[in-house]
Amino acid sequence: MKTRLFAAAIGAFISMALPYGAAQAAPTCEAGPIKIGSVSTITGIVDFSDAPKAAKAVFDQLNEAGGIHGCKIEYTMADDKADPQVAAQAARDLIDNQEVYALSGGASLLDCAVNAGTYAKNDVLSVQGVGVDPLCFNAPSVAPVNVGPYTLTTVMLDYATKNLGAEKACAFIAVIGGTQEAYAGAIADWEKMSGKTITLADYTLPLQGDLTPYLIKARDAGCDAVITNQVEPGIVQWIKTADSQKISGINWLFLAPGYTEGVAKALADSKQPLYIGTEWEPYTEASSDANKEWAATMDKAGLPKTAFSQGGYMAAKVIIDTISGIEGEVTRESLTAALKAGKPLTYPIAGTPYVFGDAAVHSPMKASKIMQLVDGKWTVKTPEWFTLTKPE
């Protein structure tokens, strides 16, 4: 009896501490810990482990504090190794053997493309920490907490038009898998919003190799703003090539993967105007109140403070806050129903509310803060969120 009273007291404390949990709700867990999983690319060609590790840190610290009304969360991270077969096996193991109630905090090159159908078939929903492939934003079973490369492409073009005065915007896109249609759709959204037409859209950008012909093509086309989906090494090569070719008069726009300390350091001497869109409150803004709780969570866990860890952190918070609002036993069915109910959840590190909801597609995040690289340091150009209103 004393143990139950103590657990109830801890639960009451946690419900008050969690800002978005319903104080009146009383989730229970008679079957044991609430099982949550994730599928991420951890080994292989990239390492996205910052996201699931951050989610685990959130859950671990919650458990240390007593859980949610005494209910603990058991979190399992699976590595898909950037291999479709391994990704499929990982999802089946989480659903059938681990019996997870939902997924949270995953970051993968191919999890959504491989497993979105499996999740839908089993009515297991995924709050993706970092959505990458197009199906992450176009499936009923997945709703990422990040803006994503496609919406962010529209955001950056919108920023270039409204804030940089771009009249001849161009795009150079590296196509990986089936992403060309998604990027073309993002550009079409911008055209519909702005009333402008993209001056040049090139979908042949290589992942490796000489970029000189592409920059010359942009210069000769008269582009005054160029967006590309290059990641860190490619961005450095792109800007250094622009410098070596003495190209001027073009604003260079990049997506969130380029927002790194490595890019800032490598391009410290460049005077090229370089802008990047974030997916959350800029992680380099250490003094930001919006980053305070996330930063403290990462520091306590001994984890690096990166943009990917922001995604894992927020995805875990979504699951915790959703569970906190469940009245009665937490099961796969009740958690799925709660996520589909679509309660808006607001977090300081994100510019728009997060909603899962019951829909055919999910792309809830629409806001970015734009960073400019100035003398080797990332500078916030939009202290207020730059929010996109996508055309219907």
Regions of the chain where pLDDT drops below 50:
1-23
Strand-pair category, 328-329 with 27-28? parallel
pTM, to two decimals: 0.90
- The answer to whether 147 touches 365, Cβ cutoff 8 Å, is yes
Per-residue pLDDT at 301: 98
134's tokens: 């197009």
Could you identify the residue written with the tokens 């990040």?
A: 146
Whether domain 2-148+286-361 has CATH 3.40.50.2300: the reply is yes
CA distance 85 to 1: 49
Intrachain domains 2-148+286-361 and 149-278+369-387 with the same fold: yes
CA distance 144 to 245: 39
CA distance 369 to 386: 6
Per-residue pLDDT at 14: 42
Per-residue pLDDT at 46: 85
Per-residue pLDDT at 103: 98
Q: Which amino acid does the sequence have at 276?
A: I
Per-residue pLDDT at 358: 96
The listed CATH number (3.30.413.10, 1.10.645.10, 3.40.50.2300, 3.40.50.300) that belongs to domain 149-278+369-387: 3.40.50.2300
Per-residue pLDDT at 94: 98
Per-residue pLDDT at 195: 95
Question: Whats the size of the chain, residue-wise?
Answer: 392
CA distance 335 to 99: 13
Per-residue pLDDT at 45: 83
Query: Of 338, 331, 339, 336, whose CA–CA distance to 99 is shortest?
Result: 331
Helices 292-301 and 307-324 pack at an angle, to 10 degrees, of: 100
Per-residue pLDDT at 10: 39
CA distance 272 to 374: 9
Query: How do residues 126-160 score in pLDDT, each as one tens digit?
Result: 999 999 999 999 999 999 999 999 999 999 999 99
CA distance 363 to 148: 8
Helix H segments across the chain? 2-17, 50-64, 84-92, 111-121, 149-163, 180-194, 212-220, 232-244, 261-266, 292-301, 307-324, 332-340
Give domain limits for the chain.
2-148+286-361, 149-278+369-387
Per-residue pLDDT at 284: 93
